[in-house]
Amino acid sequence: MKRRHFVGGLAAAAGVAACSSDSADCGAGAASAERFEWSAVTSWPPRYPGMGMAIYNVAEQVERASAGRLKIKVYAAGELVPAFEVFDAVSRGTVEVGHDASYYHKGKVDAAQFFTAIPFGLNNAEMNGWLYYGGGLELWRELYDPHDLVPFPCGNTGVQMGGWFNREINSVDDLKGLKMRIPGLGGEVLRRAGGTPVTLPGSEIFTSLQTGAIDATEWVGPYNDLAFGLQKAARYYYYPGWQEPGPTLECVINKDAWASLPDDLKAIVDIACKAVNGDVAAEYTNGNINALEQLANDPSVELRAFPPEVLDYLESIADEVIAELVENDPASAKIYESFKAFKDKSTLNQRISEQAFLNTRD
C-alpha cells in the first residue's frame, strides 16, 4: 500500500500560493494545498458503539476541518489487518493510522498497559489529568518513538463493570476455580486468586457463557454489554470494574506520516483526537444510563456489588502483579513512578470532590 497520495503537485500547478498574496502569514503557518489520503485500521467491529466510533469521528471531523485535504478511510478489524495487529501495521507504515487499546501490546511493549488501564488504577478524569497535564503523554510518546508511532489519547469508556457471572461471589473463596474471560493484568490477578482467566474474541463470549464453557466474563459496561445480549447468558452483573477503572483508547499515527503533514493539518488531527477523547466518554455516559435502566428493570438480572473484602484481596494481588512488572521492565518502572505519584496525590482530591458529591445522591 502506498503510504501517501500526493495530490499537491497538481494543486500547486493550478496556482495555490497563499504566500504571494499575504506575506505576513507566509511560512509554516500558511495553508498548504497538499492532499493526503490515509487509511486507518482498528481492533473493533465496524462502527462499534462507543470505542469503535472514535476513529470514524476523528476521520469525519478531520475531513471537514481540513476541507478534504486529509481524508482517512477507516477499516474495521479484519477488513485490512486483523484485530490486535494494528500496532505493527501502523509501525511498519502499511497504514498511517490505527485505533486501538495500548494494553493489547502487552508482550511487545509491556509498559504500554499503563496508558489504557491497570487494575485499581486511574479513572477517566484522572487519566486525562495525568496524560495531558501530569507528564503521562510525554512518557507515552517516548515509549512509542522507537516503534515509529505517535500516540494520541482518543476515547475513554469510563469505569467498566466487573462483569457477568453465573456464580455468586460472596467471598474470596468463590474466585477459586472461576473460569472467566478477562484479559491482561486483570486476568493475571484472577489467576493468582485461584481462578482461570481465559482470552476469547468478542464473538465467542456469548456462547461460551451460555453453554457454561466459562463461568463469567467482563466486557465493557451497560451500553456495550446490553447490545451484546450478555444479560441473556448470565444472572449476576457485578460492579465495579476494578480491572479497568478508566481505560483510555489510543489513536496511533505512523511517525513518517505524521512528519509529512503541514502544521495546520497536524493541529487539526491533534484537536480532533482531543475532542473525540471526550466525545467517546460522553457517548458512554449517555449510553450507559439508558442501557442500565433496561438492565435494572430486567427481572432476570441481579445487580451486585463485589464484597469489599474481595475487592481488597484483588487489590493486594494487583499490587504484587504491578510490582513484578515494574521490577522486570525499566520502561514500566519509569512510567509507573509517574502514574503512581499522580494516583497517590489524586486520591484525596477525588475523595473530597467526586466521591463526596456522589455520596450526597444516596
Minimum CB distance to a second copy smaller for 98 or for 121: 121
Q: Tell me the three state secondary structure of residue 216.
A: strand
Distances (CA, A) of 344 to 126, 314, 340: 11, 19, 6
Minimum CB distance to a second copy smaller for 84 or for 236: 236
Minimum CB distance to a second copy smaller for 305 or for 323: 305
Tell me the closest approach of the beta carbon of residue 14 to a second copy, in angstroms: 4
Give all strands of the β-sheet with 36-42 in edge-to-edge order: 70-75, 36-42, 97-100, 248-254, 149-156
Minimum CB distance to a second copy smaller for 207 or for 294: 294
Tell me the closest approach of the beta carbon of residue 171 to a second copy, in angstroms: 17
DSSP 290-325: HHHHHHHT-TT-EEEEPPHHHHHHHHHHHHHHHHHH
Tell me the closest approach of the beta carbon of residue 51 to a second copy, in angstroms: 15
Cβ count near 162 (within 10 Å) = 26
Q: What is the CA radius of gyration of the chain?
A: 22
Minimum CB distance to a second copy smaller for 95 or for 154: 154
Tell me the closest approach of the beta carbon of residue 282 to a second copy, in angstroms: 4
For the record, the C-alpha cell of 238 comes out as 457485578
Q: 340 near 272, Cβ under 8 Å?
A: no
Q: 276 near 154, Cβ under 8 Å?
A: yes
Tell me the closest approach of the beta carbon of residue 136 to a second copy, in angstroms: 10
- What is the C-alpha separation between 333 and 339, in angstroms, rounded? 10
Minimum CB distance to a second copy smaller for 213 or for 356: 356
Tell me the closest approach of the beta carbon of residue 267 to a second copy, in angstroms: 4
